[in-house]
Homo-oligomer: A and B are copies of this chain.
Amino acid sequence: MDPSGLLDFFRKKDLFAASLGIELETMADGYAKASLELTPEHTNGLGIAHGGALFSLADLAFAAASNSHGTAAVAINATISYVKAVSQGMLVAEAREVSRSSRLATYTVEVLDEGGSPCAIFQGTVYRKKEPLLPQADS
């Protein structure tokens, strides 16, 4: 179910996430979940998942959660701490809203490996614009 069309919007329009193989699984008010099946294209010279790949997975969950209320939100900053090297398997990122005001909102994201252990934690803030993310349907 995606009555607002937001999930569909993210899946079709976020070309960067799509090109990396990142899938947006769930989107709800202030929440989102995304996943990534690691392949050799996600690794660095040491053969482990690239910092940019883990960040991009967390970032998509962050973007979806922060845009879940229907108004456009743009990232101001983000921090990632890498807590466990991972080289294969399905990774999952879950973003949760910590706080939201009319202009700003803050989220935490956990990236978990296939066994459910944290690989990275992420914290980020968005600036919330006044315009809706999607054109409003006539009603």
- A residues lining the B interface (CB < 8 Å): 9-10, 13-17, 19-20, 40-46, 48, 50-53, 55-56, 59-60, 62-63, 67, 72, 74-85, 98-99, 103-104, 106, 108, 118, 121, 123, 125, 127, 133
Q: How far is the CB of A130 from chain B (nearest CB, A)?
A: 12
Q: B78–A51 contact, CB under 8 A?
A: yes
B55-A59 in contact (CB<8A)? yes
By beta carbon, the residue of chain B nearest A122 is: B123
User: Within the complex, which residue of B15, B19, B77 is in contact with A79, where a contact is CB–CB below 8 Å?
Assistant: B77
Least Cβ–Cβ distance between A94 and chain B, in angstroms: 14
Q: Are B14 and A44 in contact (CB under 8 A)?
A: yes
Q: Are A76 and B104 in contact (CB under 8 A)?
A: yes
Count identical subunits in the complex.
4
Interface of A is mostly: mixed
Cross-chain contact A52 with B44 (CB below 8 angstroms) = no
Q: How far is the CA of A99 from the CA of B104 in the complex (A)?
A: 18
Measured between alpha carbons, how far is A67 from B46 in the docked complex, in Å?
Answer: 11
Closest to A11 in B: B45
Which residue from chain B places its CB closest to the CB of A72 in the assembled complex?
A: B46
Q: Are B51 and A59 in contact (CB under 8 A)?
A: yes
Residues of chain B within 8 A of A63, CB atoms compared? 44-45, 51
Knowing A19-B41, A77-B82, say if A118 contacts B98 (CB, 8 Å): yes
